[in-house]
Amino acid sequence: MTSIPTTVPEKKLHDENEPQIPVVEETAASGPIVEGKTVGTPYADDAKFKLRDVEVFYGESRAIKSVSLDIASNEVIAFIGPSGCGKSTFLRCLNRMNDSIDICRVKGTLELDGQDLYDPRQDVVELRARVGMVFQKPNPFPKSIYDNVAYGPRIHGLANRKSELDDIVESSLRKAGLWDEVKDRLDATATGMSGGQQQRLCIARTIAVSPEVVLMDEPCSALDPIATAKVEELIAELSESYTIVIVTHSMQQAARVSHRTAYFHLGHLVEVNDTSTVFTAPEHEMTESYITGRFG
Protein backbone atom coordinates (compact mmCIF):
# COMPACT_ATOMS: atom_id res chain seq x y z
CA MET A 1 0.00 0.00 0.00
CA THR A 2 1.11 3.52 -0.62
CA SER A 3 1.85 6.02 2.08
CA ILE A 4 0.37 9.50 1.97
CA PRO A 5 2.19 11.25 -0.86
CA THR A 6 4.68 13.83 0.23
CA THR A 7 6.04 14.70 -3.17
CA VAL A 8 2.92 15.69 -5.05
CA PRO A 9 3.69 18.34 -7.65
CA GLU A 10 3.83 21.81 -6.24
CA LYS A 11 0.54 23.65 -6.27
CA LYS A 12 0.62 26.29 -8.97
CA LEU A 13 -0.47 29.83 -8.24
CA HIS A 14 -3.96 30.52 -9.48
CA ASP A 15 -4.09 32.64 -12.60
CA GLU A 16 -7.27 34.73 -12.70
CA ASN A 17 -7.55 34.35 -16.47
CA GLU A 18 -7.34 30.61 -16.32
CA PRO A 19 -10.63 28.69 -16.09
CA GLN A 20 -10.91 26.55 -12.95
CA ILE A 21 -12.19 23.63 -15.01
CA PRO A 22 -10.77 23.45 -18.52
CA VAL A 23 -13.44 24.04 -21.15
CA VAL A 24 -11.36 22.37 -23.84
CA GLU A 25 -10.60 18.75 -23.06
CA GLU A 26 -6.98 19.19 -23.96
CA THR A 27 -3.83 20.32 -22.23
CA ALA A 28 -0.62 21.64 -23.74
CA ALA A 29 1.54 19.51 -21.47
CA SER A 30 -0.02 16.17 -22.18
CA GLY A 31 -2.01 16.57 -25.36
CA PRO A 32 -5.66 15.76 -25.92
CA ILE A 33 -7.50 12.91 -24.27
CA VAL A 34 -7.68 10.28 -26.98
CA GLU A 35 -11.04 8.58 -27.05
CA GLY A 36 -10.91 4.82 -27.27
CA LYS A 37 -7.27 4.57 -26.28
CA THR A 38 -6.71 1.76 -23.79
CA VAL A 39 -5.34 3.45 -20.74
CA GLY A 40 -3.11 1.53 -18.36
CA THR A 41 -1.48 -1.83 -18.61
CA PRO A 42 -3.86 -4.48 -19.89
CA TYR A 43 -3.69 -7.58 -17.74
CA ALA A 44 -4.52 -9.70 -20.78
CA ASP A 45 -5.63 -13.19 -19.86
CA ASP A 46 -5.97 -12.91 -16.12
CA ALA A 47 -7.97 -9.67 -16.04
CA LYS A 48 -10.95 -9.93 -13.70
CA PHE A 49 -12.73 -7.23 -15.65
CA LYS A 50 -11.96 -6.48 -19.25
CA LEU A 51 -13.69 -3.24 -20.21
CA ARG A 52 -13.37 -1.89 -23.74
CA ASP A 53 -14.80 1.24 -25.33
CA VAL A 54 -17.44 1.55 -22.63
CA GLU A 55 -19.96 4.32 -23.24
CA VAL A 56 -22.85 5.15 -20.94
CA PHE A 57 -25.75 7.36 -21.98
CA TYR A 58 -28.48 8.93 -19.90
CA GLY A 59 -30.98 9.63 -22.69
CA GLU A 60 -28.96 11.57 -25.27
CA SER A 61 -26.28 12.63 -22.80
CA ARG A 62 -23.02 10.66 -22.90
CA ALA A 63 -21.78 10.32 -19.32
CA ILE A 64 -18.94 7.84 -20.04
CA LYS A 65 -16.89 8.36 -23.18
CA SER A 66 -15.14 5.35 -24.65
CA VAL A 67 -13.42 4.13 -21.52
CA SER A 68 -11.14 1.08 -21.70
CA LEU A 69 -9.67 -0.46 -18.59
CA ASP A 70 -8.62 -3.82 -17.21
CA ILE A 71 -9.01 -4.62 -13.53
CA ALA A 72 -6.91 -7.46 -12.13
CA SER A 73 -7.94 -10.06 -9.57
CA ASN A 74 -7.23 -9.04 -5.98
CA GLU A 75 -6.26 -5.51 -6.83
CA VAL A 76 -7.64 -2.45 -5.09
CA ILE A 77 -8.27 0.23 -7.67
CA ALA A 78 -9.47 3.71 -6.74
CA PHE A 79 -11.58 5.90 -9.02
CA ILE A 80 -11.03 9.60 -8.44
CA GLY A 81 -12.12 12.76 -10.22
CA PRO A 82 -14.30 15.85 -9.89
CA SER A 83 -17.98 15.57 -9.02
CA GLY A 84 -20.09 14.57 -12.01
CA CYS A 85 -17.18 13.06 -13.99
CA GLY A 86 -18.85 9.62 -14.10
CA LYS A 87 -17.15 7.61 -11.34
CA SER A 88 -20.40 6.21 -9.91
CA THR A 89 -21.86 5.67 -13.37
CA PHE A 90 -18.84 3.63 -14.45
CA LEU A 91 -18.71 1.72 -11.15
CA ARG A 92 -22.38 0.78 -11.47
CA CYS A 93 -21.71 -0.73 -14.91
CA LEU A 94 -19.63 -3.40 -13.22
CA ASN A 95 -22.62 -5.13 -11.63
CA ARG A 96 -25.35 -3.72 -13.84
CA MET A 97 -26.76 -1.44 -11.19
CA ASN A 98 -27.45 1.03 -14.02
CA ASP A 99 -30.08 -1.41 -15.32
CA SER A 100 -32.54 0.05 -12.85
CA ILE A 101 -32.26 3.53 -14.44
CA ASP A 102 -34.71 3.57 -17.35
CA ILE A 103 -32.94 6.18 -19.47
CA CYS A 104 -29.51 4.61 -18.99
CA ARG A 105 -27.85 2.69 -21.87
CA VAL A 106 -24.47 0.95 -21.65
CA LYS A 107 -22.42 0.19 -24.80
CA GLY A 108 -19.06 -1.49 -25.35
CA THR A 109 -17.42 -4.68 -24.16
CA LEU A 110 -17.68 -5.46 -20.45
CA GLU A 111 -16.39 -8.87 -19.42
CA LEU A 112 -16.07 -10.52 -16.02
CA ASP A 113 -13.72 -13.52 -16.19
CA GLY A 114 -14.14 -13.51 -19.95
CA GLN A 115 -17.95 -13.58 -19.82
CA ASP A 116 -20.12 -10.81 -21.25
CA LEU A 117 -21.68 -9.00 -18.29
CA TYR A 118 -24.44 -7.67 -20.50
CA ASP A 119 -25.36 -10.99 -22.11
CA PRO A 120 -29.18 -11.12 -21.93
CA ARG A 121 -28.83 -14.63 -20.46
CA GLN A 122 -26.76 -13.27 -17.56
CA ASP A 123 -28.61 -13.77 -14.27
CA VAL A 124 -28.38 -10.30 -12.69
CA VAL A 125 -29.13 -11.52 -9.14
CA GLU A 126 -26.29 -14.01 -9.41
CA LEU A 127 -24.03 -11.33 -10.91
CA ARG A 128 -24.68 -8.99 -7.98
CA ALA A 129 -23.77 -11.76 -5.55
CA ARG A 130 -20.45 -12.13 -7.39
CA VAL A 131 -19.97 -8.39 -7.64
CA GLY A 132 -21.29 -6.86 -4.42
CA MET A 133 -21.71 -3.19 -3.68
CA VAL A 134 -21.32 -0.93 -0.67
CA PHE A 135 -22.91 2.50 -0.95
CA GLN A 136 -22.01 5.95 0.33
CA LYS A 137 -24.73 5.96 2.96
CA PRO A 138 -25.00 2.81 5.06
CA ASN A 139 -28.30 1.17 4.13
CA PRO A 140 -28.98 -1.68 6.56
CA PHE A 141 -32.39 -3.32 6.33
CA PRO A 142 -34.74 -2.50 9.22
CA LYS A 143 -34.10 -5.98 10.58
CA SER A 144 -31.84 -7.48 13.21
CA ILE A 145 -28.06 -7.46 12.85
CA TYR A 146 -28.20 -11.23 12.31
CA ASP A 147 -30.90 -11.05 9.66
CA ASN A 148 -29.05 -8.34 7.72
CA VAL A 149 -26.03 -10.59 7.30
CA ALA A 150 -28.11 -13.77 6.83
CA TYR A 151 -30.26 -12.15 4.13
CA GLY A 152 -28.04 -12.92 1.11
CA PRO A 153 -27.04 -16.45 2.17
CA ARG A 154 -30.73 -17.27 2.69
CA ILE A 155 -31.74 -15.94 -0.74
CA HIS A 156 -28.92 -17.78 -2.46
CA GLY A 157 -29.44 -20.99 -0.46
CA LEU A 158 -25.88 -21.00 0.88
CA ALA A 159 -26.72 -22.74 4.16
CA ASN A 160 -28.59 -26.00 4.64
CA ARG A 161 -29.10 -25.71 8.37
CA LYS A 162 -29.19 -23.04 11.04
CA SER A 163 -25.69 -23.83 12.34
CA GLU A 164 -24.24 -23.24 8.86
CA LEU A 165 -26.02 -19.92 8.62
CA ASP A 166 -24.74 -19.00 12.09
CA ASP A 167 -21.20 -19.75 10.91
CA ILE A 168 -21.56 -17.56 7.83
CA VAL A 169 -22.96 -14.70 9.92
CA GLU A 170 -20.15 -14.96 12.44
CA SER A 171 -17.35 -15.22 9.91
CA SER A 172 -18.73 -12.31 7.86
CA LEU A 173 -19.02 -10.12 10.95
CA ARG A 174 -15.50 -11.14 11.96
CA LYS A 175 -14.10 -10.25 8.51
CA ALA A 176 -15.88 -6.91 8.75
CA GLY A 177 -14.23 -6.29 12.13
CA LEU A 178 -17.59 -6.08 13.86
CA TRP A 179 -18.04 -9.41 15.65
CA ASP A 180 -16.72 -8.40 19.05
CA GLU A 181 -18.89 -5.29 19.08
CA VAL A 182 -22.14 -7.06 18.21
CA LYS A 183 -21.84 -10.73 19.22
CA ASP A 184 -24.01 -10.19 22.31
CA ARG A 185 -26.75 -8.32 20.50
CA LEU A 186 -27.24 -10.06 17.19
CA ASP A 187 -31.03 -9.75 17.62
CA ALA A 188 -30.89 -5.99 18.09
CA THR A 189 -32.14 -3.89 15.21
CA ALA A 190 -29.40 -2.77 12.83
CA THR A 191 -30.70 0.76 12.49
CA GLY A 192 -29.80 1.35 16.15
CA MET A 193 -26.08 1.00 15.42
CA SER A 194 -23.68 3.90 14.89
CA GLY A 195 -23.02 5.02 11.32
CA GLY A 196 -19.59 3.39 11.26
CA GLN A 197 -20.98 0.14 12.62
CA GLN A 198 -23.81 0.24 10.09
CA GLN A 199 -21.31 0.66 7.26
CA ARG A 200 -19.25 -2.30 8.50
CA LEU A 201 -22.49 -4.28 8.80
CA CYS A 202 -23.26 -3.45 5.17
CA ILE A 203 -19.78 -4.70 4.26
CA ALA A 204 -20.45 -7.90 6.28
CA ARG A 205 -23.77 -8.29 4.43
CA THR A 206 -21.98 -7.89 1.10
CA ILE A 207 -19.23 -10.42 1.84
CA ALA A 208 -21.65 -12.96 3.40
CA VAL A 209 -22.44 -14.27 -0.08
CA SER A 210 -18.71 -14.73 -0.87
CA PRO A 211 -18.44 -12.21 -3.68
CA GLU A 212 -15.42 -12.06 -5.97
CA VAL A 213 -15.52 -8.29 -6.28
CA VAL A 214 -16.65 -5.56 -3.90
CA LEU A 215 -17.58 -2.18 -5.38
CA MET A 216 -17.50 0.71 -2.92
CA ASP A 217 -18.92 4.13 -3.78
CA GLU A 218 -17.49 6.64 -1.30
CA PRO A 219 -17.93 4.15 1.57
CA CYS A 220 -16.42 6.45 4.18
CA SER A 221 -17.87 9.81 3.26
CA ALA A 222 -20.49 9.62 6.02
CA LEU A 223 -18.04 8.31 8.63
CA ASP A 224 -15.82 9.94 11.24
CA PRO A 225 -12.02 9.45 11.08
CA ILE A 226 -12.02 6.50 13.50
CA ALA A 227 -14.74 4.60 11.64
CA THR A 228 -12.99 5.53 8.37
CA ALA A 229 -9.73 4.05 9.64
CA LYS A 230 -11.54 0.82 10.53
CA VAL A 231 -13.09 0.55 7.08
CA GLU A 232 -9.72 1.27 5.45
CA GLU A 233 -8.06 -1.47 7.52
CA LEU A 234 -10.83 -3.73 6.41
CA ILE A 235 -10.25 -2.89 2.75
CA ALA A 236 -6.60 -3.88 3.15
CA GLU A 237 -7.61 -7.23 4.69
CA LEU A 238 -10.36 -7.89 2.16
CA SER A 239 -8.00 -7.25 -0.74
CA GLU A 240 -6.31 -10.55 0.07
CA SER A 241 -9.45 -12.36 -1.06
CA TYR A 242 -11.41 -9.92 -3.18
CA THR A 243 -11.02 -7.45 -6.01
CA ILE A 244 -12.02 -4.02 -4.73
CA VAL A 245 -13.05 -0.98 -6.74
CA ILE A 246 -13.44 2.10 -4.59
CA VAL A 247 -14.69 5.56 -5.52
CA THR A 248 -13.32 8.24 -3.23
CA HIS A 249 -13.01 12.00 -3.02
CA SER A 250 -10.18 11.62 -0.54
CA MET A 251 -6.72 11.58 -2.13
CA GLN A 252 -5.28 10.37 1.15
CA GLN A 253 -7.71 7.48 1.19
CA ALA A 254 -6.89 6.53 -2.40
CA ALA A 255 -3.20 6.70 -1.52
CA ARG A 256 -3.64 4.62 1.63
CA VAL A 257 -5.81 1.81 0.30
CA SER A 258 -5.30 1.37 -3.44
CA HIS A 259 -2.72 -0.29 -5.63
CA ARG A 260 -3.78 1.64 -8.72
CA THR A 261 -5.67 4.87 -9.20
CA ALA A 262 -7.80 5.89 -12.18
CA TYR A 263 -8.50 9.57 -12.78
CA PHE A 264 -11.75 10.47 -14.55
CA HIS A 265 -12.67 13.83 -16.03
CA LEU A 266 -15.90 14.73 -17.83
CA GLY A 267 -16.64 11.09 -18.62
CA HIS A 268 -13.12 10.30 -19.87
CA LEU A 269 -10.63 8.02 -18.20
CA VAL A 270 -7.68 10.38 -18.34
CA GLU A 271 -5.04 8.30 -16.65
CA VAL A 272 -4.61 5.07 -14.71
CA ASN A 273 -1.41 3.97 -13.07
CA ASP A 274 0.17 2.76 -9.86
CA THR A 275 -1.22 4.92 -7.10
CA SER A 276 2.20 6.22 -6.10
CA THR A 277 2.90 7.29 -9.69
CA VAL A 278 -0.46 9.03 -10.08
CA PHE A 279 0.15 11.03 -6.92
CA THR A 280 3.84 11.79 -7.36
CA ALA A 281 4.36 11.94 -11.12
CA PRO A 282 1.01 12.14 -12.92
CA GLU A 283 1.19 11.77 -16.66
CA HIS A 284 -1.53 14.24 -17.51
CA GLU A 285 -1.76 17.86 -16.47
CA MET A 286 -5.46 17.46 -15.67
CA THR A 287 -4.64 14.79 -13.11
CA GLU A 288 -2.01 17.02 -11.58
CA SER A 289 -4.46 19.93 -11.41
CA TYR A 290 -7.00 17.78 -9.62
CA ILE A 291 -4.70 16.15 -7.10
CA THR A 292 -3.06 19.46 -6.26
CA GLY A 293 -6.45 21.06 -5.71
CA ARG A 294 -6.52 23.43 -8.67
CA PHE A 295 -9.97 22.23 -9.62
CA GLY A 296 -12.54 19.71 -8.56
Ligand X SMILES: Nc1ncnc2c1ncn2[C@@H]1O[C@H](COP(=O)(O)OP(=O)(O)OP(=O)(O)O)[C@@H](O)[C@H]1O
- Closest approach, Cβ 135 to ligand X, in A, equals 11
Of ligand X, Mg ion, none, which one sits near residue 63, judging by CB under 5 to 8 A according to partner kind? ligand X
Applying CB under 6 A, among 66, 68, 88, 258 the residue interacting with ligand X is: 88
Residues 6 or more apart whose CB falls under 8 angstroms from that of 1 comprise 236, 256, 257, 258, 259
Nearest to 112 by CA among 124, 103, 100: 124
- Closest approach, Cβ 81 to Mg ion, in A, equals 9
Applying CB under 6 A, among 89, 148, 248, 261 the residue interacting with ligand X is: 89
| φ and ψ at residue 131, rounded to 5 degrees | -120, 90
Instruction: Give the nearer residue to Mg ion in terms of CB position, either 209 or 231.
Output: 231
**Using CB under 6 A as the criterion, what x/- string covers residues 38-77 for binding ligand X?**
--------------------x----x--------------
200 binds ligand X (CB under 6 A): no
101 binds ligand X (CB under 6 A): yes
Number of residues that bind ligand X (CB under 6 A): 11
Of Mg ion, ligand X, none, which one sits near residue 261, judging by CB under 5 to 8 A according to partner kind? none
Q: Which stretch binds ligand X (CB under 6 A): 68-76, 79-87, 155-163, 273-281?
A: 79-87
- Closest approach, Cβ 232 to Mg ion, in A, equals 19
Instruction: Give the nearer residue to ligand X in terms of CB position, either 32 or 84.
Output: 84
Of Mg ion, ligand X, none, which one sits near residue 138, judging by CB under 5 to 8 A according to partner kind? none
Cα–Cα separations (whole angstroms), residue 292 to 54, 237, 281: 28, 29, 12
84 binds ligand X (CB under 6 A): yes
Applying CB under 5 A, among 2, 66, 68, 88 the residue interacting with Mg ion is: 88
| Residues binding Mg ion (CB under 5 A) | 88
| Residues binding ligand X (CB under 6 A) | 58, 63, 81, 83-89, 101
